[in-house]
Amino acid sequence: MKKRIIKIITGLVVVLIIIDIVASFYFYDLAINRGPKDFLQGNKDLEVSAETMNVLLEGGWREWVENQEFEHLEMTSRDGLTLQGYFLKAKKPSNVVVVAAHGYLGRGSDMGLFGQYYYEALGYNFFTADARGHGRSEGDYIGFGWQDRLDYLDWINLLVDKLGPDTEIILHGLSMGAATVLMTSGEELPPNVKVIIADSPYTSVQDLFSYQIKRMFHLPPFPFIHTTSLVTKAKAGYSFTEASALKQVKKTTIPILYITGDADTFVPTEMAHKLYENTNSKAKIVTFHGANHGESFVMDKEKYIKVLNDFLQENMN
């Protein structure tokens, strides 16, 4: 009887291990592997107002992007990927350049939503890039900011070489792009990088996926997130725990403006507050009432611009 019970228990353990392994590769393909992500369609956590959706999909900023003559820049990443960047020279000479990082499944041109203001109203140079695994850049996986932080460090150095040693850089990221610029902030950056704007960031990939697997799939983080992290380490070269914006901001010396919406259920606003509370450098956090994920700029553009301008004036001189 005892041997039979042991066999049954052993069999159950083996079955559970097999399920976990299969699930890990499934979640890797679902979230990390390059390609369309059907699971996000109809996701209630990403629902925004009809007005916001109209601006995002058909706003005049998209026509503005199409009408600009971006200079195409190309760079080889440290692990051999060809990455694509897009530079827009200011109308009048300026030593300030905004480096904009887009969100998950996006592309550089999406950051024209902010680029139009920086370029037209503030007169800055504007640069954006397709992150690895996105747009026209190479890469068969999504780095969620961790591998990308070194890519952006290299883009920054390329721009300083291109524009001159007196170049002043603003890093502005949205969602995954916000986590990317925060992860970049903990690296050894040139003094040219003056401020960071992080709109709707997450603390770490581990935290984000642990939250999402419970919310979207009603599954416990353990063991699925942990084994998916092992698969990601093997296939993409990074683990979920090391991909941490939280660890990086504890080291940064660059002033950071955090922007979050209190109605954000895709990346909970608590993550932005946790980042703010642990930032080593001068930091400010502004919460937009009623804004869902990445919606603040469209919902209350006037407030967003005032907050942005005030922060730039305080920290760019």
**H-helix or E-strand containing 14?**
helix 2-27
**H-helix or E-strand containing 234?**
helix 221-236
Closest to 185 in 3D by CA, of 156, 143, 162: 156
pLDDT of residue 3: 72
Give per-residue pLDDT as tens, 11-65. Answer: 675 667 788 888 899 999 999 999 877 666 666 666 666 677 777 777 789 999 9
Q: If DSSP codes are grouped into helix, strand and coil, which group holds residue 165?
A: coil
Strands 82-88, 125-129: pairing kind? antiparallel
pLDDT of residue 20: 80
C-alpha–C-alpha distance, residues 37 and 170, integer Å? 31
pLDDT of residue 53: 72
Q: What is the CATH topology of the domain spanning 43-204+243-315?
A: Rossmann fold (3.40.50)
Q: Is pLDDT at 225 greater than 80 in this prediction?
A: yes
Give per-residue pLDDT as tens, 84-122. Answer: 999 999 999 999 999 999 999 999 999 999 999 999 999
- Domain positions in the chain are 43-204+243-315
Tell me what the pLDDT averaged over the chain comes to: 92
C-alpha–C-alpha distance, residues 261 and 41, integer Å? 21
pLDDT of residue 36: 78
Instruction: Provide the angle, in degrees to the nearest 10, between the axes of the packed helices 60-67 and 112-120.
Output: 70
Q: Residues 90-94: contacts with CB within 8 Å, 24+ apart? A: 90/119, 90/123, 90/124, 90/125, 90/126, 91/119, 91/123, 92/123, 94/123, 94/124, 94/125
**Residue length of the chain:** 317
Give per-residue pLDDT as tens, 169-216. Answer: 999 999 999 999 999 999 999 999 999 999 999 999 999 999 999 998
Burial class (CB in 10 A: 0-12, 13-18, 19+), 42: exposed
Give per-residue pLDDT as tens, 118-177. Answer: 999 999 999 999 999 999 999 999 999 999 999 999 999 999 999 999 999 999 999 999
Low-confidence winner among 219-223, 270-274, 281-285, 287-291 (lowest mean pLDDT):
219-223
